[in-house]
C-alpha cells in the first residue's frame, strides 16, 4: 500500500514495482486519513508512507495504525534522510526510511528487508549507527526537558506539531 500526496510520485513507484517478483501493489492513497482506512480494509504486508502529507502526517497515520495493528510494517519515504528524520521514523516504530531520491534496486531491497521484519534506513546506516542515533536523541530530549518546561502553552503546542512531522503550513493552519 503506497501513501503519498503526489499522484505522479505514486504512479512512478507503481511503474517501478509492477513487474518485480514478490511485490504486488494492492492500493494507493493520498493522505493519512485514507491510509488508516485503507490499511484496515486491505491489511498489506508493507506500507510505503510519505512522512509529510496533508491532514494527518504519514508518521501520525502510521502511529494510529500501529496502535491497532501491532505487526504493521512501514517504510517511510521523505525528501530528507538526515539523522533527525531517521530518529523520528525509528521512534514511530517504522521499520525504515528512504530518501525519495533512492534508486529502484535499493527501494526493492528496502521493501523486502522490511517485509522480513528487519530495519532498513539506508545503505550507510548500520545497526550500530542506529543504536548510536537512538542514544544521542534520547539524551538530547532528556536534556531539553528543562527548557521545554519553561515554554508557554502556544510554544509547546507548536513544538508538539513539529514532533508529529507537520509542515510549517500545517502548523500555521492549526493556529489560525
Render pLDDT for 128-164 as a digit per residue (tens, 0 to 9): 776 776 776 666 555 555 566 667 778 778 877 887 7
List residues bridging with 98 in a β-sheet: 77
The string of pLDDT tens digits covering residues 69-125 is: 999 999 999 987 777 788 788 888 999 999 999 999 999 999 999 999 999 988 666
- Choose among 23, 21, 17: nearest CA to 114: 23
Spell out a b/e string for 122-132, using b for 16 or more CB atoms within 10 Å of the CB, else e.
Answer: beebeeeebee
CB atoms within 10 A of CB 3: 27
Contact 110, 75 (CB under 8 A): yes
Least confident of 12-21, 28-37, 65-74, 84-93: 84-93
Do 119 and 87 touch, CB atoms closer than 8 A? Answer: no
In this prediction, residue 147 carries a pLDDT of 64
| pLDDT reading at 36 higher than 80 | yes
Radius of gyration of the chain (CA): 17
- Of the two residues 168 and 147, the one the predictor is more confident about is 168
DSSP β-ladder status, 28-29 and 47-50:
unpaired
Contacts of 167 (CB under 8 A, 6+ apart): 52
- What pLDDT is stored for residue 104 in this prediction? 95
Amino acid at each position: 500500500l503506497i501513501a503519498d500526496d503526489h499522484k505522479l510520485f505514486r504512479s512512478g513507484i507503481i511503474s517501478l514495482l509492477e513487474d518485480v517478483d514478490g511485490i504486488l501493489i494492492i492500493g494507493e492513497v493520498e493522505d493519512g486519513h485514507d491510509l488508516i482506512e485503507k490499511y484496515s480494509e486491505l491489511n498489506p504486508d508493507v506500507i510505503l508512507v510519505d512522512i509529510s502529507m496533508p491532514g494527518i502526517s504519514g508518521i501520525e497515520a502510521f502511529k494510529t495504525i500501529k496502535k491497532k495493528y501491532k505487526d504493521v510494517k512501514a517504510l517511510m519515504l521523505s525528501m530528507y534522510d538526515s539523522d533527525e528524520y531517521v530518529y523520528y521514523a525509528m521512534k514511530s516504530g517504522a521499520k525504515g526510511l528512504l530518501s525519495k531520491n533512492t534508486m529502484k534496486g535499493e527501494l526493492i531491497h528496502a521493501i523486502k528487508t522490511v517485509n522480513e521484519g528487519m530495519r532498513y534506513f539506508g545503505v550507510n546506516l548500520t545497526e550500530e549507527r542506529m543504536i548510536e542515533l537512538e542514544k544521542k536523541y534520547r539524551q538530547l530530549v532528556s536534556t531539553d526537558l528543562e527548557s521545554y518546561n519553561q515554554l508557554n502553552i502556544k510554544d509547546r503546542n507548536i513544538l508538539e506539531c513539529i514532533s508529529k512531522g507537520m509542515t510549517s503550513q500545517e502548523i500555521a493552519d492549526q493556529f489560525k
